[in-house]
Amino acid sequence: MEVIIDKGCGLDVHKETVVACVMGEGIKKEIRTFSTMTEDLYRLKSWLSEKGITHIAMESTGPYWKPVFNILEGSFEVILANARHIKNVPGRKTDVKDSEWICKLLRSGLLAASFVPPQAIRELRDLTRYRRKLTQSISSEKNRVQKVLEDANVKISSVVSDTFGVSASRMLEAIMAGQLDTEAISDLAVGKLKCKKAELKKALVGNFQEHHRFMIQASLDHIESLEKIIAGLDQEIDRKLADYHQEYELLQSIPGVKEQGAASIIAEIGVDMGRFPSEGHLSAWAGMSPGNNESAGKKKSGKTTHGNKNLRAILTQCAWAASKTKNTYLNAKYYSLVGRRGKKRALIAVGHKILIMVYYILKTGMPYKELGKDYLNRRREDKIVKGHMKRLKDLGYEVAIKKAA
């Protein structure tokens, strides 16, 4: 293999050890093993500096690469490679041979660097991901409350759409306080739910025991504590976003992208789109673009590629919100696909569109410009007309087309 990098180092990173292999002009191949304790990582850094190493490559192994990367990133050109792209030749596999193989690939220029955002964005990413996990925990606790109510045969969810809405929450508080009079509890309904008072009375008749009260109270206490933590995370996220206020506001001009969505997108991809050569590279990195799988002229499954699962989930949520908007291009795009491709594929396609919009908004600094719900029809007008004419002719009709004044 042709050598492109004069002096390089390959690191095989594990939880407790790091195996380093150095090669290059004027350097005798040498392999050393260091522990992942901070003191030993600084010894590794000093050793590499003494050897005149300029480039370092390592696999993205779980969370174990992070402390090594944090110490080395300021002094060397560090390449974090996708483990799926580093496949050693078959045979004996050892940590020493892995580090040597990584070093050879590095010096030959055969390793593509993974996207690693700056420190500030990485900190913001930790906050938004943790917030998302806590939100999922709250949803789990709410489902657990619903399960306990069903066990007590309190069928309130059969009447109300949201068990934790205003009316249902007031009723649940009354039940937890020991109120068992269904007439009094049903009177707590507000809004349109007042019309379902008779159904509520039937739904509230159950076999509510002290055990149910204890279980529900435990879940409610847990939800309250999680909400307090989320409130603190929101304050810290807002503080971290102060340096990206303009980009944060611009992203919210996209239908379906609100405060949390914009914050999470910035946390996952940053604001510097110069790190991605094109919107296609960003889509592939996120796992939102269709894959290519062709052999012998035959196209096989084109399912989306592996990518950033967190960003993919955020974009799917934004796509679902965009599909509910009115008179927008994204809404029209969703309904043009959902009938023939299904909801899941339609949401991925709309999420892909949102990601492309994000790329150009961050790159140009210009807000989103709404195309309108008729954009797709105007763009494919001739094709739509020909398709309808063909269908009518197949049914035995003579068709003459004349444009309306």
Question: The tokens of 384 are what?
Answer: 């739509």
CB 70 within 8 A of CB 53: no
Say which residue, 112 or 18, is predicted with more confidence: 18
Percent of the chain with pLDDT over 70: 95
What type of residue is 167?
Answer: S
Partners of residue 32 on adjacent β-strands: 20
Residue 180 reports pLDDT greater than 90: no
pLDDT score of 39 = 95
Res. 2 pLDDT band, cuts 50 70 90: confident
CA distance 209 to 77: 64
pLDDT exceeds 70 at position 1: no
For the cut 80, the answer to whether the pLDDT of residue 259 exceeds it is: yes
pLDDT (0 to 100) of residue 354:
97
Q: Which one has a higher pLDDT value, 139 or 180?
A: 139
Q: Which residue has the higher pLDDT, 256 or 157?
A: 256
pLDDT given at position 380: 79
Whether 156 contacts 204, CB under 8 Å: yes
Which ranges in the chain are annotated with CATH 1.10.287? 120-242
Question: What single letter denotes the amino acid at residue 203?
Answer: A
Which is nearest to 9 in space by CA: 138, 145, 104? 104
| Whole-number pLDDT of residue 383 | 84
Residue 335 backbone phi and psi in degrees, to 5 = -75, -20
CB distance 350 to 323 below 8 Å: yes
Kind and range of the H or E element at 294? strand 294-295
Quick check: 68 and 56 in contact, CB under 8 A?
no
Distance between CA atoms of residues 115 and 211, nearest Å: 51
pLDDT of 293 reads: 67
* Res 27 pLDDT > 90: no
> What is the homologous superfamily of the domain 7-107 according to CATH?
ATPase, nucleotide binding domain (3.30.420.40)
Looking at every residue in the chain, the average pLDDT score rounds to: 90
d(CA 36, CA 42): 10
Alpha-carbon 242 to chain mean position = 22
Residues 128-168 have pLDDT tens digits of 999 999 999 999 999 999 999 999 998 888 888 888 988 88
pLDDT at 302: 66
Residue 28, pLDDT score? 86
pLDDT over threshold 80, residue 256: yes
Residue 296: per-residue pLDDT: 66
C-alpha triplet 29, 31, 36: angle, nearest 5°: 150
Chain-centroid distance of CA 84 in Å reads 20
What's the rounded Cα separation, in Å, for the pair 191 and 195?
8
CA 222/CA 148 separation, integer angstroms: 15
Tell me the pLDDT band of 388, cut-offs 50, 70 and 90: confident
Residue 92, pLDDT score: 65
The predicted pLDDT at position 201 comes to 87
DSSP label at residue 17? E
For residues 332 and 326, give the distance between their C-alpha atoms in angstroms, rounded to a whole number.
Answer: 9
Which is higher by pLDDT, 62 or 80? 80
Residue 400, pLDDT score? 80
Q: Which residues lie below 8 Å from residue 335, measured CB to CB, with a gap of 6+?
A: 323
CATH classification number, 120-242, choose in 1.10.287, 1.20.1740, 1.10.3470, 2.30.30: 1.10.287
Number of CB atoms found within 10 A of residue 33's CB: 15
Other C-beta atoms closer than 10 Å to the C-beta of 93 total 11
**Cα(104)–Cα(5) distance, integer angstroms:** 10
Cα separation, 275 vs 219, whole angstroms: 44
* Mean per-residue pLDDT, 335-348: 93
88 confidence band (pLDDT: 50, 70, 90)? low
d(CA 11, CA 40): 14
Contact status, residue 352 vs residue 286, Cβ threshold 8 Å? no
Q: pTM for this one?
A: 0.86
* Residue where the block lists tokens 């023939």: 340
> Which pLDDT belongs to residue 249?
96
In DSSP terms, 34 is beta-bridged to 18
For CATH 3.30.420.40, list the domain ranges present in the chain. 7-107
pLDDT, tens digit, 9 for 90 and up, residues 285-302: 999 987 666 666 676 666
Residues sharing a CB contact under 8 Å with residue 228, sequence separation 6 or more, in sequence order = none
Phi first, then psi, for residue 218 (nearest 5°) are -60, -40
In angstroms, rounded to a whole number, what is the distance separating the alpha carbons of residues 55 and 68? Answer: 14
pLDDT tens-digit map of 192-242: 888 888 888 888 888 889 999 999 999 999 999 999 999 999 999 999 999
